[in-house]
Amino acid sequence: MKTITSVHNESLRQLSRLLSSAKARRESGRAVLEGVHLLDACLNAGGSPEAVYVPEGRLRRAEIQALLARLPEDKITVVSQGALEKISALSGGEDVMSLIVCPLPGELPQSGDCVVLERVQDPGNVGTILRSAAACGIRQVIFGEDCVDVWSPKVLRAGMGAHFLLALYPRTDLSAWRAGYRDPVRVTALGGRDNRSVYSLDLKPASAWLFGNEGSGVSENMLDSADGTVHIPMIGATESLNVAMAATVCLFEQMRQRLHAQE
């Protein structure tokens, strides 16, 4: 195994740039996984990190040893105690960090189930939506150009490994995608054309779910392009749900209907 003792090592400088800069991630096509859970999820999905950096003080732990046994030795670097502290926001720099190549997006889906996010900025919301999509069997998630970077450390942590179960399409021109998508597009909104309760719709056929910005929702342009708007009935004084909660309700209702149809 290789060893790093200096905080000025170029490999650690690269990790720091990738952790802090969306531009650096886009230009290099790489991202950093912080922690053993994300590395385990990556490996379980068949991923192969370019490099894995292990703090010296954790090298002999059983869970670390089990993970390292699944990697070629030349991809493992031991980092001296404290050298990761200045670049990692997780566990005081005392956790495993993995360098990965971000999967290249394929052709945008023109049909079939997908989740579409427009101007969603909160990393926790995006990570939660990714987890809900994966849990409901939806494998395609499209991100508009103004969404938070899907490979940012905060989104990766919130996603808890869902990234490796999904086909992700970042920085998409949503108007161009909509022009070629053939199945219905449903938008969550409090009003709008043909606004119906999510519980009154037949959600078994394939469709796209479009969710918008935390404050302003979906843009007028995308709202006009939808096949109808959907609301979630609520009892009480609450006006609306957080976008991640709303997405989760809609996706699980769709899954419930499909499972019921199979019984």
CA atoms 4, 47, 32, 56: torsion sign? negative
pLDDT for the residue 185: 97
Last residue of a domain, one of 101, 129, 154: 101
Same domain, 248 and 118: yes
Last residue of a domain, one of 67, 101, 135: 101
Same domain, 23 and 88: yes
Task: Spell 226-243 as b/e; 16+ CB within 10 A means b.
Answer: beebbbbeeeeeeeeeeb
pLDDT for the residue 93: 58
pLDDT for the residue 58: 87
Same domain, 141 and 246: yes
Q: Please state, in angstroms and rounded to a whole number, the distance separating the CA atoms of residues 4 and 53.
A: 9
pLDDT for the residue 7: 80
Same domain, 78 and 185: no
Residue 106 lies in a domain: no
pLDDT for the residue 90: 55
**Distance from chain centroid for Cα 193:** 30
Based on the structure, what is the number of domains in the chain? 2
Same domain, 205 and 228: yes
Last residue of a domain, one of 101, 132, 165: 101
Same domain, 95 and 143: no
Residue 62 lies in a domain: yes
Q: How far is CA 54 from CA 41, 47, 99, 161, in A?
A: 17, 18, 12, 19
Q: What is the CATH number of the domain that holds 124?
A: 3.40.1280.10
Same domain, 95 and 121: no
**What residue numbers bound the domain in which 28 lies?**
2-101
Residue 108 lies in a domain: no
Q: Which two tokens stand for residue 149?
A: 């970077």
Per-residue pLDDT of the chain (263 residues; tens, 9 = 90+): 788 988 889 999 999 999 999 999 999 999 999 999 999 999 999 999 999 999 988 888 999 999 999 999 999 999 987 787 777 655 555 789 999 999 999 999 999 999 999 999 999 999 999 999 999 999 999 999 999 999 999 999 999 999 999 999 999 999 999 999 999 999 998 776 678 999 999 999 999 999 999 888 999 999 999 998 999 998 877 777 899 999 999 999 999 999 999 98
Same domain, 170 and 257: yes
Q: Please list the alpha-helical segments (H only) found in 21-57.
A: 22-28, 36-44
CA atoms 81, 14, 143, 254: torsion sign? negative
Whether 246 and 188 have beta carbons less than 8 Å apart is answered as yes
